[in-house]
Amino acid sequence: MNITETFAHHARAVPDRPALVHGDSVVLYRDLDPLVSRAAAHFYSLGLVPGDVVGVALKDSIEHIVVLCALARAGIVILPLDWRWTPEEQERVVAHFGATVVLLEPGKPALPGATCVPVEKDFLSLVGKHRTDKSFPEGDLPLLMSLSSGTTGRPKGPRIRQSQFLARYRVFWINLGFNSQDRFLSATPLYYGGGRTFPLTMLYSGGTSFMLPPPHEPQELCEAVARHRITSLFLVPTLIRRLLTLGDAELTPIRSLRLLLSSGSALHAEERRHLRALCPGFVEYYSSTEGGGVSYLTSEDPEAFSDSVGRPVFGVEVQCVDEAHQPVPAGTVGRIRYRGPAVADGFWNDPEASRESFRDGWWYPGDLGMLDASGYLHLKGRAKDMIIRGGVNIYPAEIEAVLQAHPAVTDCAVVGWPSKEFNEEVAAFVIVKGEAKPAELRDLCRGRMAPYKVPREVFVVKDFPRNALGKVIKAELSAGLSPL
């Protein structure tokens, strides 16, 4: 039970098929299996043993993927680190999870308390001196620390086992159609859950991953899809929004994709409609790094449900519950929880956070949602972002959907505004591309929802504070508002 266990089969069955392609660099399946074994033996030569934790702070490259596979084969736990983090950010995460070795880009400063090893450009040649007949551990071993995209506050992440990771692969095969004939374009950073998991799925399945490391322009992305005859592509919403700025002719390659996958945060309703019309293979995939896939929505789902995130993926049970952890009736908003074979057991070395988010085998991702009578899941925002005005719950996603319907609004974020009278008022921040005055946007809301949901103020801004994955940091927007 190992995410590299199929490599030997591919070496025999499709030896001349490319496994990894990055520019002029190619690794064929005949070479991948022995390369991973040699790299795993190399890590043992550094004094590492199964169960050790190794930080991986590398740019997107073939070497990065080989490193992940080699650590998995060796039974060494992967701690993903964003190479763009400051040394202080990396040091905090490394200390919390107890990494003994950190793999860094050449020239990056060493971190105190850990052995830092630069991964040079000749890494693949360097490991060639090791034998391929080394014995590696078997069983359901720990694989990686599955960290979410944020780095603020106390580091949190569960230790995902090999079996839980393989359960995520099964969802990709059954619901997303990944297969050995796929030609996947890796265009999202490998540090992130989806950016890392989908290329690894390709290798397990015997498909080919072509690498287009960010940053890249949307035109480059379309050209790469056409040049490499890509069949499947995963993008976070930030990258999809950049793609949708192109004209119809430039987007022609996207129409040919078997699968255009969006995950990481929810898309706006108009963006979904555009993508459904653009690419028949468009799928929105709701998931979390801690629990894997939750639900998926395809272009074949009826238009009436296009404002949802679809129905549960294979093997996953989803509920919306109240504060007493009891399921609420269909059509009622509650806290989303789900369980299945891919869900982690709890946060590593953090029993307090585990008690808050894991309960009786269920994982609570912190989102609010509603299951309708047809079983489709509708997101209503983050539980921590819910606004309570005068004792009434207000869901920012509902207001954001109304604002987003204005043709001049390109993005929006609704947050709570501290108020002595009502506890919280509603504040809306918008990015516009044309004429849209705040009063006009408030009138739009007033005409489509109850008066208490109408924003007290609408602020026009040039951009939002975002994390490295492009998600809006609402806490920073709220922090800039003086109490009323």
Comparison of pLDDT for 153 and 3, the residue scoring more: 3
Kindly indicate whether the domain formed by 7-371 is annotated with CATH number 3.50.50.60: no
Q: Is the pLDDT of residue 304 over 70?
A: yes
Q: Is the pLDDT of residue 147 over 90?
A: no
Nearest 5°: the CA angle 107, 113, 117 is 35
pLDDT digits (tens, 9 = 90+) for 194-245: 899 999 999 999 999 999 998 899 999 999 999 999 999 999 888 898 898 8
What are phi and psi for residue 210, nearest 5 degrees?
A: -100, 135
CA distance 83 to 90: 8
Comparison of pLDDT for 422 and 167, the residue scoring more: 167
For 175, residues 6+ apart whose C-beta sits below 8 A from its C-beta are 293, 296, 313, 314
**Residue 78 token pair:** 């992967």
pLDDT digits (tens, 9 = 90+) for 283-300: 999 998 889 999 999 999
Please tell me what DSSP assigns to residue 6.
T
pLDDT digits (tens, 9 = 90+) for 353-362: 888 889 999 9
**Residue 36 token pair:** 């991973």
Comparison of pLDDT for 382 and 317, the residue scoring more: 317
Write down the domain spans for the chain.
Answer: 7-371, 386-479
Predicted confidence band of residue 98 (pLDDT cuts 50, 70, 90) = very high
Among 171, 267, 193, 202, CA closest to 3: 202
Question: Over the chain, what is the mean pLDDT?
Answer: 91
**Percent above pLDDT 70 for the chain:** 98
- The total of other beta-carbon atoms located within 10 Å of residue 9's CB is 12
Q: 386-479: what fold?
A: GMP Synthetase; Chain A, domain 3 (3.30.300)
CA distance 38 to 69: 11
Q: Is the pLDDT of residue 169 over 60?
A: yes
Among the residue ranges 16-25, 49-58, 196-205, 266-275, the one predicted with the least confidence is: 266-275
Among the residue ranges 267-271, 301-305, 316-320, 356-360, the one predicted with the least confidence is: 267-271
Helix H or strand E encompassing 404:
helix 396-404
Write the single-letter amino acid at 89: E
User: Mean pLDDT throughout 454-480?
Assistant: 86
How far CA 61 is from CA of 188, 194, 205, in Å, comes to 12, 16, 20
What are phi and psi for residue 133, nearest 5 degrees?
A: -100, 20
User: Mean pLDDT throughout 340-362?
Assistant: 90
How far CA 253 is from CA of 216, 225, 236, in Å, comes to 16, 6, 18
Res 450: pLDDT? 81
Predicted TM-score of the model (pTM): 0.85
Quickly list H helices, 177-298: 193-205, 218-227, 237-243, 252-255, 269-278
Q: Which strands make up the sheet holding 183-186, listed edge to edge?
A: 25-28, 18-22, 208-211, 183-186, 232-235, 259-262, 282-288, 292-298, 311-312
Q: Is the pLDDT of residue 152 over 70?
A: no
What are phi and psi for residue 339, nearest 5 degrees?
A: -145, 155
Q: DSSP labels for 124-189?
A: HHHGGGS-S------SS-EEEE---S--SSS---BEEEHHHHHHHHHHHHHHH---TT-EEEE-S-
Is 146 in contact with 193 (CB distance < 8 Å)?
Answer: yes
Q: Is the pLDDT of residue 150 over 60?
A: no
Comparison of pLDDT for 435 and 103, the residue scoring more: 103
**Residue 64 token pair:** 């990065």
**Residue 169 token pair:** 């692969």
CA distance 236 to 162: 25
User: Mean pLDDT throughout 136-148?
Assistant: 91
Q: Is the pLDDT of residue 149 over 70?
A: no
Q: Is 381 helix (H, G, I), strand (E, B) or coil?
A: strand
Q: Is the pLDDT of residue 402 over 60?
A: yes
Comparison of pLDDT for 72 and 100, the residue scoring more: 72
Burial of 217 per CB tally in 10 Å (0-12, 13-18, 19+): exposed
Among 213, 216, 210, 251, CA closest to 232: 210
Nearest 5°: the CA angle 244, 415, 88 is 80
Comparison of pLDDT for 264 and 234, the residue scoring more: 234
Strand partners, 428: 414, 458
Q: Is the pLDDT of residue 454 over 50?
A: yes
Is 149 in contact with 471 (CB distance < 8 Å)?
Answer: yes
Q: Do domains 7-371 and 386-479 have the same CATH topology?
A: no
User: Mean pLDDT throughout 322-327?
Assistant: 94
CA distance 330 to 319: 10
Among the residue ranges 324-338, 358-372, 421-435, the one predicted with the least confidence is: 421-435
Is the backbone of residue 405 left (phi > 0), alpha (psi -120 to 50) or beta? alpha
Is 42 in contact with 70 (CB distance < 8 Å)?
Answer: yes
User: Mean pLDDT throughout 319-339?
Assistant: 95
Among 404, 454, 453, 457, CA closest to 432: 404
Write the single-letter amino acid at 16: D
Q: Is the pLDDT of residue 193 over 70?
A: yes
Is 266 in contact with 297 (CB distance < 8 Å)?
Answer: no
Res 208: pLDDT? 98
- The total of other beta-carbon atoms located within 10 Å of residue 453's CB is 20
Helix H or strand E encompassing 445:
helix 438-448
User: Mean pLDDT throughout 144-156?
Assistant: 70
Q: Is the pLDDT of residue 32 over 70?
A: yes
User: Mean pLDDT throughout 319-328?
Assistant: 95
User: Mean pLDDT throughout 16-30?
Assistant: 97
